[in-house]
Chains A and B, each alone.
Chain A
Amino acid sequence: MSTTLQPARRRPRRRQVAPYLFTAPAVILYVAFMLVPVGYAVWLSTRAYRIEGALLGRKTEVFVGLDNYVAVLTNPEFAAGFGRLAVYGVIAVPLTLGLALLFALVLDTPAARLKRFGRTAIFIPYAVPGVVAALLWGFMYLPSTSPFSYVTRALGLGTIPFLDGPGLFGSLANIAIWGGVGFNMIIIYTSLRSIPGEIYESARLDGAGEVQIALRIKVPLVVPALVLTGVFSLIGTLQLYSEPATLQPMTSAISNTWVPLMTIYRDAFGTDDLPQAAAASTVLAVGTVLVSVVILRIVNRKRMGVER
């Protein structure tokens, strides 16, 4: 009797331990490479280096409270970086999502031809790293190699200022749109494909055209996918770094503090002010999480309002 009971008693215990073992590697790595760095950055952001002694100065670390945060938040260049990021984001995010939605709807339209070719072609930039995308577009912007400026010069209109003044924002946004449309299109498209076809049948019987079906039925049903892609695009926007950094050798319009991450990089590795960089990183991370949460909140409230 006792031998048959034993495994029955042992089994639940094993089942209690198993989930901890399964999640342990992830938890350890998560703590080591996400929580601890965040904690370390926050701790470091309250410190500063002081040089002690007049002649033989020794670098020591002292606690300075929120001084670094005050410095970061009152630094006009850091704020200007966020301003430039906002202009860039206002162009890049809506256009990326709008085009992705447009292409997804077209792919889901019965009348469209060459769908597989179109889908694959639009998806291809996803496989191109941001640095390489910036390199490709950079040469297409550069006056001496740009095919667009070649045409406008031939027409007597002069060179297009892709890399100067306000044109720079559009040019950088274009790189992001080019790289992002395909992936977002696929996300929205797979979401469209999960809608059962019968929903459209009754609309068609009522005489609705494909455009009406797309706008009145399909778009509202893929709102969750749009929210997801929107949040990811926004997070991507706040992380903008490699594209402007890659274009930097091609234009003088991009400074070393053009976007917040470039300022952080300069503080950490250019001027060796690690506490300052840590404080700026913390501000950027908190800002990102706040923006995401606010968007998700607003969308959820609106959707609930619609459902009621």
Chain B
Amino acid sequence: MSVLTARPGPASTRRDPSDRARSRARQGGWGVLPTIVLLVGAFYCLVPVLWVYVAATKTRGELFTTFTFAPGTGLGENLTALFAYEGGQYLLWCLNSLIYSGVGSLLSVLVSTMAGYGLAKYEFRGRSFLFLSILAGVLIPGIVLAVPQYLLLSQLGLVGTHWSVLLPSIVSPFGIYLSRVYAMSAVPQETLEAARIDGAGEWRIFRTIVLPLMVPGMVTVFLLQFIGTWNNFLLPYIMLSDQSRYPLTVGLFTLLAKGSSSPALYSVAITGAAVSIIPLLALVLFLQRYWRLDLVSGGLKG
């Protein structure tokens, strides 16, 4: 039943049918109101998404003349124009977004998991200093760092390369913090001690025992990081100048900016936006059930 928490607990007993019927009877007229509120919220959130799919079917003329929610006749034409734009740049942008988000988040999860486990399960000198520094890092907005990161990477000659977007995307103080919280509750100290008595080395314990235990936390950190990187705009916008290295956000932005002088590109930008939403929508809907956002809300109980 529960998609996001996958945790049947007291909550599911609260929701048994007889209970529901009883409380509805008690509330009388209040009964429908919550559902209406929910539907209004859903409508508000879905309207722009519906709009972009309707608009993607319109020809350039129809876009500015017909009623906004009346479907048009130009879907095929728009898709052809989108994928043909400057020799297929759009597909490159998709691929780049996938590389930055996919590779970056995978590396980020590995680094965060190791660090989170180290911070959670070992006593060592400098531990609290390290943890506090990372907590402070959570408060420093990534975007504010983008300009200094640009200055630094330009000294190293990396500006304009894939690395200039990928490397800063690996660091995630919030990911380290979440991994630590998850390791504290999901990895029992006794299991570690038992493995040590059996003579297992620390790295082997991590690989064979800790990693499998931490998978739900890793999925959560991965998804947060993936969506964060996918949605990031300013960092790649600052770092990259060659449009064949752009991610989708920067590519669509430049399309729209050019659109003010050549309105033909408006249809291309709209269609590009419509297409770009599909993979992420699928990812979120599919992975919703695997991630543990109670980790973020602090409601985690081991």
Q: Which residues of A contact B (CB under 8 A)?
A: 7, 11, 14-16, 18-23, 25-27, 29-30, 32-34, 36-38, 40-41, 44, 99, 102-103, 106-107, 109-133, 135-140, 144-147, 150, 178, 181-182, 186-191, 193-194, 196-198, 200, 204, 209-211, 224-225, 228, 231, 235, 238-239, 241-242, 245-246, 248-250, 261, 264-265, 268-269, 274, 277-278, 281, 284-285, 288-289, 292-293
Contacts and interface: CB of A to CB of B under 8 A. Distances in A.
A190 B4 contact: yes
Contacts of A140: 47-48, 51, 68
Contact of B139 (A27, A122, A123, A235): A235
B294 A194 contact: yes
B208 interface: no
Nearest to B15: A110
Interface stretch (B72-80, B84-92, B164-172): B164-172
Interface of B: 2-5, 7, 9-11, 13-15, 19-20, 23-24, 26-27, 30-31, 34-35, 37-39, 41-42, 44-49, 51-52, 55, 63-64, 67-69, 110-112, 114-115, 117-119, 122, 124, 127, 130, 133-134, 136-137, 139-145, 147-152, 167-168, 170-171, 173, 176, 196, 199, 201-203, 206, 227, 230-234, 238, 248-250, 252-253, 256-257, 259-260, 269-270, 273, 276-277, 280-281, 283-285, 288, 293-294, 296-301
The 9 A-B residue pairs with the shortest CB-CB distance, nearest first, are A194-B299, A22-B118, A37-B148, A26-B115, A121-B42, A19-B122, A118-B38, A112-B34, A197-B10
Contacts of B30: 111, 209-211
B64 A144 contact: yes
Contacts of A124: 45-46, 49, 281, 284
B148 A289 contact: no
B140 A129 contact: no
Nearest to B140: A285
A228 B298 contact: yes
Interface of A is mostly: helix
Contacts of A194: 294, 297, 299-301
The residue among A103, A120, A128, A138 with the most chain B CB atoms within 10 A of its own CB is A128
A199 to B, nearest CB: 9
Tell me if B's interface is mostly helix, strand, loop or mixed. helix
B130 A27 contact: yes
Contacts of B48: 125, 133, 136-137, 140, 178
Contacts, number: 329
B273 A136 contact: yes
B137 A30 contact: yes
Nearest to A17: B202
A292 to B, nearest CB: 5
Given A11-B196, A127-B227, A228-B298, A193 B2 contact: yes
A193 B111 contact: no
A200 B14 contact: yes
Nearest to B48: A136
Contacts of B144: 239, 261, 281, 284-285, 288
Contact of A119 (B3, B51, B238): B3
B156 to A, nearest CB: 10
Given A16-B124, A126-B227, A289-B139, A118 B297 contact: no
Contacts of A145: 55, 63-64, 68
A181 B77 CA distance: 35
Contacts of B252: 131-132, 135
A15 B122 contact: yes
A111 B152 contact: no
B277 A117 contact: no
Nearest to B176: A26
Contact of B151 (A7, A29, A44, A135): A44
Contacts of B39: 114, 118
Given A29-B171, A121-B45, A111 B23 contact: yes
18 contacts: A19-B119, A20-B124, A26-B111, A30-B171, A34-B137, A113-B35, A121-B45, A124-B281, A130-B249, A132-B277, A145-B63, A181-B41, A235-B141, A245-B253, A261-B143, A277-B147, A281-B147, A289-B140
A131 B19 CA distance: 45
B133 A30 contact: yes
A131 B29 CA distance: 42
B114 A26 contact: yes
Contacts of A193: 2, 5, 7, 9, 11, 294, 299
